[in-house]
Amino acid sequence: MSNAPGSARPALTMLSDDERAFRDAVAEFARGEVAPRVQQMERDAKLDPALIKAYFEMGLMGIQAPEAHGGAGGTVMLVTIAVEEISKVDAASAIMVDVQNTLVANPLLAAATPEQLARWMPRLCRDTVGAYALSEASSGSDAFALRTRAVKTDGGWRLTGRKLWITNGAEAGLYVLFATVDPARGYKGITAFVVERSAPGFSVGKKEDKLGIRASSTTELILEDVFVPDADVLGPVGQGYRFAIQALNEGRVGIGAQMIGIAQGALDAAVAYLKERQQFGRPLAEFQGIQFQVAQAATELEAARLMVYNAARLKDAGEDIAQAGAMAKLLSSQVCERVTSLCVELFGGYGYTKDYPVEKFYRDAKIGTIYEGTSNMQLSTIAKGILK
């Protein structure tokens, strides 16, 4: 597919030779390293540490990081491809790669000084999991109603408060964390900090017991007079909201990649089953009613994939993706729910059991309409862009 003459927008659907090779390598990795661990990780509600180590060794934790700091110097499109391929096998495993490369890497690449990048980025590429800590009990959809306070002191800041719903919270060693220096200033008081797990007064609290994506940790963070030196403030004081929004915009592309991966994994499993399962003397795949359902699901999934890929390409082209990212997340999460629900039905009673993979795909799908902004919040973002 080629661009129209004079168009600045990149091709949407065609992958380059390098992108195809990367996709195939990640798919092979997912089959060989992720798939054998899925059931045990699901039962334990915990990622296998050996898999996390394998992510680092494969280079999947620093896809966008500069080569000078140990990363691949890659694109958002490559992150999207990686997250989609792993999600076809296990979305809970893919989330760690997603968060590391979008929510954590984005604020650092946007706001960190050269000295800060040299301190943090090699660790994130080599052996340290990162987490993005914005949400609190009182600030879900109202993301900037933060109560975590940062008070200036000699040589740094004292942070006190609690964070909630923090992905990678249990495994992380570094946290991109947002606090307010002055609640009266609203979002203009929000400041970004990088907090070490080892900081005195910092601890990881309750780990949530979730419906889906069970192996991905979702935790509370507790800050009790945690000292953060001035050298660990990320960007200007009071400008943290800018970096938070930028990260969420890119993160929604990652959520979209998760959703199309989940849906594709479920559909692949269903298609294989329909070709094998015999009813009334012939495979289920030969019944026209089922064929039409599968065709509709595949068509909707392809539409969602194009929207996710488009948002990734636009981000790589330096475009504002607030609306494109919201649309991609909204549609892909809706399609994922419909496709995985259909796949459970196509398996019949077997689809409702843990002996077959589609019940897990179905449970993992639901989170897409909730985290990094609910569907209603995406609709609000889209409407504001259209009606401004």
As a whole-number percent, the residues of the chain with pLDDT over 90 amount to 94
Helix (H, G, I), strand (E, B) or coil at 152: strand
According to the model, what pLDDT value does residue 6 have? 38
CATH assignment of 242-387?
1.20.140.10
Question: Is the pLDDT higher at 9 or at 105?
Answer: 105
Question: Is-contact 322 330, C-beta < 8 A?
Answer: no
> How many helices (H) does the chain have, and how many strands (E)?
12, 10
Chain centre to alpha carbon of residue 322: 16
How confident is the model at residue 2, as a pLDDT? 38
Contacts made by residues 338-344, CB under 8 angstroms, sequence distance 24+: 338/297, 338/300, 339/263, 339/266, 339/267, 339/297, 339/300, 339/301, 340/262, 340/263, 340/266, 340/364, 340/365, 341/365, 342/270, 342/293, 342/297, 343/266, 343/267, 343/269, 343/270, 343/297
Whether 372 is catalytic: yes
| Closest CA relative to residue 34, chosen from 77, 96, 100, 124 | 96
**13 pLDDT band (50/70/90 cuts)?**
confident
* CB within 8 Å of 364: residues ≥ 6 apart: 91, 92, 212, 213, 262, 340
Element (H, E) at 195: strand 190-196
Q: Which of 72, 65, 58, 64 is nearest to 28 (CA)?
A: 58
Alpha helices in 210-287 (DSSP H): 240-276
Q: Which SS3 state, helix, strand or coil, does residue 203 take?
A: strand
DSSP H helical segments within 59-90, as ranges? 76-87
List, for residues 259-309, the tens digit of each pLDDT value.
999 999 999 999 999 999 999 999 999 999 999 999 999 999 999 999 999
Task: Give backbone dihedrals phi and psi of 203, rounded to 5 degrees, phi first.
Answer: -150, 155
Domain ranges of the chain: 17-129, 131-239, 242-387
Buried b (16+ CB within 10 A) or exposed e, 282-310: eebbeeeebeebbeebeebbeebbebbbb
Q: What average pLDDT score do residues 147-152 get?
A: 97
Mean pLDDT of the chain: 95
- DSSP code of residue 174: E
Kind of pairing, strands 174-180 and 130-133? Answer: parallel
**What is the rounded CA–CA span in Å between residue 314 and residue 249?**
12
Question: Looking at domain 17-129, does it have CATH number 2.102.10.10?
Answer: no
264: closest CA among 22, 15, 27?
Answer: 27
- Least confident residue range of 4-8, 168-172, 293-297: 4-8
pLDDT at 12: 56
- Mean pLDDT is lowest, of 20-34, 91-105, 126-140, 196-210, for 126-140
Which distant-in-sequence residues (6+ apart) come within 8 Å of 235 by Cβ?
107, 110, 111, 112, 191, 192, 242, 243
CB 245 within 8 A of CB 123: no
Residue 209: both structure tokens together: 């017991």
Q: Can you name the CATH fold of 131-239?
A: Butyryl-CoA Dehydrogenase, subunit A; domain 2 (2.40.110)
Residue 145 confidence class, pLDDT cut points 50, 70, 90: confident
